[in-house]
Amino acid sequence: MPSPSRPAEPAKPRPPKALELATVDEDDLRDEGTFTGLGFYDLELTGRSAKGAEFRQCRFNRTDLSGTAFVKVSLTDCLVERSNFANLHGDQSTLLRVAFRDSRLTCLQWLDGVLRDVTLRDCRIDLSAFRATKFAAVAFEDCNLAGADFTGADLTGATFTRCDLTGAQFSAATMTGTRLDQCDLSGVAGVTSLAGATVSTADLVTLSHTLAAALGITIADTPGAA
């Protein structure tokens, strides 16, 4: 039997070789704004709002965007490092060729959006929500996704490697082709939506108990078993 095919590897962002430093005075978030080739370094942009804005070939380093609201915003060919996107609310927004590393995205709300060619490494994304969002060539690696909500999401093109998915919600998600490797799947909800996903052997024991509970199956120890 042939092995299941892996989702496509995310394409890497293509930032410019040189960036102009962004400033709050000149480059504060605004509706319909276009931000190209900018380095957002050590900036506090909390609690802002932007509708229809576009970020192209930008780099965010130690930038605080917590509590910001995006509507139909796009980030293309961007790098995000050691930044704070906690409690950011994005509606119908898009990430295209974006790489996140060592950043905080706790309680991020990315709803009815698109992630394509996106990599997230060593990020805290717990209690986040990606409801009704489409994932294409997206890789989560060594991320905390405890309590994340993927209700109704299309995770066909997503891979999760060494991630904490404790208590994550997958109800009504599409997961044919999704790969999960060395993840903590304790207490995940909507476990029947994992039909068609590829799960590593190491994750099967935890998942089997969760699936049994979802189906109302009682697992009893066999008398005399070691």
Name which residue leads in pLDDT, 91 or 214. 91
Residue 193's H or E segment, with its range, is none
Distance CA(114)–CA(94), nearest Å, equals: 5
Q: pLDDT at residue 145 above 50?
A: yes
Per-residue pLDDT, 224: 62
Distance CA(47)–CA(69), nearest Å, equals: 7
Q: How confident is the prediction for the chain on average, in pLDDT?
A: 91
Q: In what order do the strands lie in the sheet containing 49-51?
A: 49-51, 69-71, 89-91, 109-111
Is residue 164 within 8 A of residue 144, CB to CB? The reply is: yes
Q: pLDDT at residue 90 above 80?
A: yes
Is residue 97 within 8 A of residue 14, CB to CB? The reply is: yes
Per-residue pLDDT, 200: 85
**pLDDT (mean) for 156-162:** 97
Q: pLDDT at residue 3 above 70?
A: no
pTM for this model (two decimals) = 0.90
**What are 107-118's pLDDT values in tens digits?**
999 999 999 999
Rg (CA), the chain: 19
**pLDDT (mean) for 182-188:** 93
